[in-house]
Amino acid sequence: MAQVESTITIARSVEEVFRFFLELDSNARKTGPYVESITKTPEGLTGPGTTVTTTTFTSIEPNRKIELEARLGPLRPKGAIAFRQTNLGTAVAVRLNPNPVGPLKLLSPVFARIGQRVWDKRLARLKDALESQKYIDSDADIRRLPVTRTIALAGIIGPIWFTTFVVLQGFLLPDYSHVRLPISALAAWPTGWIQNINFHVTGGLLMAFALALHHGVQPTRRGGAGVALLVLGGLGVMWAGVFPWKMVDGVPAETAPHVIGAVMAFVATGLGFIVFSRRMIADPPWRDLATYTMVTGIAVLALFGAVGFFAIDIGAPLHAWAGLLQRVLCAVWFTCLIVLARRLRTV
């Protein structure tokens, strides 16, 4: 019986080549330039019984073999695609019976020769697609997604961690006022080491989350500037733990190096949100959050200015509410982090 037998070796791992075939709905145009529309039923992961346009996967052995059948006009092709790892990459062998119906069975050798040419060209295009640098880069991005989504948890864990330990220290220190004193003042008490560690851990989580955003949002020209500012903001939080507040004559006092850390943390973060929002506009899954992120950045800068100029110093008009005002600032900041992290976990 006349059959289509086409083979090729692709310089990619068997796992990558096999996955390419399983994702036929998104990859068909790379091997068949005249494909116009593609349907997949049922949607979701490809498995036995999945139909992509006219082709049905009847059996799947991961990284070894795919059996399939199709309906192409008067033809009912049926066969298998085998995969084998070699020293040069992955050997792909296609063996199909064109299986024409009715009297057309007499033309099986003709249909087999036509099918042979079609599959030789299709496999050649597949080899070009899989071995191209563009595919290699995109495949690396796909493999990096699970890691990015895991690191995105830093944007959720960081705010919760920081807030939990600030509240806990408030219970441990009866003389401390969440309304009157800024968060950094916690470091001036004997238990201040807790807050210093809190700064270090939270700063590290913020920097990790910034890098996750960098990999999760479509790159643009100068798109790394916003990420760099967000990383600097996380570094500023860690800096605050290195140069903490001190107790002077029984009164918590801010140190000059700590001021530098505060400016790094809040100003860099505010600017980072604003700059990064421009990059989000260029990426459809993130576009709806771009304005919110930009407004958050503006709010962070405005609230930090209010705390610094009108609340921190003794005698300032809002000094009695310095702690409360700073907590509003942190709530605005942390809420945005959690919103972005949740989105990063799903895109």
- Same domain for 334 and 244: yes
- Same domain for 309 and 214: yes
140 within domain boundaries: no
- Same domain for 188 and 118: no
pTM: 0.62
Alpha helices in the chain (DSSP H): 14-22, 24-31, 108-131, 133-151, 154-172, 192-216, 224-242, 256-281, 287-310, 322-346
Tokens at 269, concatenated: 């973060």
Q: Exposed/middle/buried for 246, CB within 10 Å: 0-12, 13-18, 19+?
A: middle
Pick the last residue of a domain from 71, 100, 131: 131
227 within domain boundaries: yes
- Same domain for 278 and 226: yes
What lies within 8 Å, CB to CB, of 97 at 6+ separation is 1, 2, 3, 4, 77, 78, 79
Tell me: the pLDDT tens digits for 262-295?
A: 999 999 999 999 999 999 988 878 999 999 999 9
Q: Residues in the chain, how many? A: 347
Please count the structural domains in the chain.
2
242 within domain boundaries: yes
- CATH code for the domain of 30: 3.30.530.20
- Same domain for 189 and 108: no
Segment holding 6, helix H or strand E = strand 4-10
Distances in Å between the Cα of 261 and the Cα atoms of 147, 238, 256, 266 are 30, 8, 9, 9
Cα 25 from Cα 27, distance rounded (Å): 6
Neighbours of 19 (CB within 10 A): 17
Q: 1 pLDDT exceeds 80?
A: no
139 within domain boundaries: no
- Same domain for 235 and 107: no
- Same domain for 334 and 232: yes
- Same domain for 260 and 127: no
**Domain carrying residue 210:** 146-346
Tell me: the pLDDT tens digits for 322-334?
A: 999 999 999 999 9
Tell me: the pLDDT tens digits for 286-299?
A: 999 999 999 999 99
Tell me: the pLDDT tens digits for 150-162?
A: 899 999 999 999 9
- Same domain for 98 and 121: yes
Q: 197 pLDDT exceeds 70?
A: yes
- Give the type of residue at 267: V
Higher pLDDT, 300 or 142: 300
CA nearest 96: which of 74, 83, 106, 111?
111
Q: 249 pLDDT exceeds 50?
A: yes
**pLDDT of res. 78:** 92
